[in-house]
Amino acid sequence: MSLRDTDLLGHGAAGYRVSHYDLALATKPATGRLSGKARLTVVASAADASLALDFGPFRIERVLVDGKPVRWTHRAGKLRIRGRFLVDTPFAVEVRYAGRPAPVRTRHWGEVGWDELTDGVIVASQPVGAPSWFPCNDLVGAKATFRIEVTVPIAYTVVANGVLASRTAAGSTAVWTYVADEPMAPYLATVQIGPYERVLLSSGQLLAVSGGLLRAAQHDFARQPKMMRVFTDLFGPYPFAEYAVVVTDDELEVPVEAQGLSIFGANHVDGHRGHERLVAHELAHQWFGNSVGLADWQHIWLNEGFAAYAEWLWSERSGGPRAEALAARSRTVLASRPQNLRIGDPHARDMFDDRLYQRGALTVHTLRTVLGDDVFFALLREWTTTHRHGTVVTADFVALAERHAGRSLAAFFDQWLHQPALP
């Protein structure tokens, strides 16, 4: 059985789509409480479509459709709105709510979504954490534009998706407003709050970090502008208006990508660029996973395989080991581990297994050796251009690769993606 969004805690629903989220939030990190007004632009596919939004255990104060109160229920993580809706015509759904947000607890991936730092907030929602802070249709392929407004105590900095449209201060609070015009999956939406300093690494590249980590972080991310140039050459134009990196004062198990920004923990900054491969990995996700998104989670190797391979590309373009040497090391490690994972259709528990990342990267590298560099990199640039801000499945990539190769690659992709044994 293929892995679908509905396998992930039953999130997501058919019958409607959201084209825009307008979120107005207010929070005080010291109390942990959040109040919000979410205004969604919705299009229903049928007049009696069931409007079921994924949403955490907040106190709901009001639900309106086109400004009028409607009947609704809220239980088991679903906000169900009743009524007859206009078909194929946008209408507004407004939800006002309050409470103390908490991350979504999952069986396989720990806690995901809105979480408290020692002093601030981190939102890392992959794959099902978005309902921890706003009502949404939590499907990986359900992209929408966003406006995110956050009111916080004036001492805090807010970083969110898109471009900072305004920051206004009034008394003891400040309102930060971000606009993301490029469509985005709900799991990639994020808000980062902390006592951060904002510094530019280069035009369009922001670093947000506390003063105690500033010097080390500036050193560790100093080559990111060059990395951006390399990836733009290899993958095509950067797909968003800006790119931000947030470094929290807390330690994180792994860095986390969001759309147009990435989040690193204090443990990923050492002043010696000891984690630069992770900088490359998260930046590459802006092309592979964020701009070129997934139609469903079954195809996650398209995200993680290409981001892991970008680590190897950066290594060989920056004076480190070449990709073939890193591929050989990866193959040795994979050969010593259990051969029971089909990366083209993994079980939910294996979505973030390191073997999926490494075998995905090895698949991409082997395809490069089959096609040759000229054809391979032309394929990557067409892939990111054709599907810019869209969603894809593995069959889309196979078809494009075969067109560039001029022959069938069915046996190749079957071996690498759908057979558990390492070819």
Burial annotation 61-96 (CB, 10 A radius, 16+ → b, else e) = eebebeeeeeebebeebbbbbeeebeeeeebebbbb
CATH number of the domain that residue 358 is part of: 1.10.390.10
Return the C-alpha torsion angle 352, 183, 296, 238, nearest 10: -50
266 and 220 both lie in a single domain: yes
Residue 358 lies in a domain: yes
Shared domain for 43 and 161, answered yes or no, is: yes
User: Are 6 and 139 part of one and the same domain?
Assistant: yes
Which range marks the domain in which residue 176 is found? 1-112+121-185
| Residues 171 and 216 grouped into a single domain | no
Provide the pairing of β-strand 243-247 with 261-264: parallel
Please check whether residues 165 and 32 belong to one and the same domain.
yes
Residue where a domain stops, chosen among 163, 185, 207: 185
Specify whether 351 is located in the same domain as 266: no
DSSP annotation string for 95-131: EEEEE---PEE-SSS-EEEEEEETTEEEEE-TTT-GG
Identity of residue 373: D
Question: Same structural domain for residues 150 and 247?
Answer: no
DSSP alpha helices (H): ranges in 188-270?
A: 214-220, 224-235
Query: How far is 27 from 240, CA to CA, in rounded Å?
Result: 27
CATH of the domain at 161: 2.60.40.1730
Give dist(CA 156, CA 120) in Å, integer: 8
19 and 106, same domain (yes or no): yes
| 84 and 144, same domain (yes or no) | yes
Structural domain ending residue among the three candidates 271, 286, 301: 286
Report the C-alpha gap between 65 and 67 in whole angstroms: 5
Residue with the two structure tokens 């979120």 = 23
Query: How many structural domains is the chain composed of?
Result: 3
One digit per residue, pLDDT tens: the chain, 423 residues? 356 555 677 899 999 999 999 999 999 999 999 999 999 999 998 877 779 999 999 999 999 999 999 999 999 999 999 888 889 999 999 999 999 999 999 989 999 999 999 999 999 999 999 999 999 999 999 999 999 999 999 999 999 999 999 999 999 999 999 999 999 999 999 999 999 999 999 999 999 999 999 999 999 999 999 999 999 999 999 999 999 999 999 999 999 999 999 999 999 999 999 999 999 999 999 999 999 999 999 999 999 999 999 999 999 999 999 999 999 999 999 999 999 999 999 999 999 999 999 999 999 999 999 999 999 999 999 999 999 999 999 999 999 999 999 999 999 999 999 999 999
For residues 98 and 126, state if they share a domain: yes
- Cβ contacts of residue 398 below 8 Å, gap of 6+? 409, 410, 413
Instruction: Give the whole-angstrom CA distance, residue 4 versus residue 340.
Output: 20
Domain match, 162 and 220 both: no
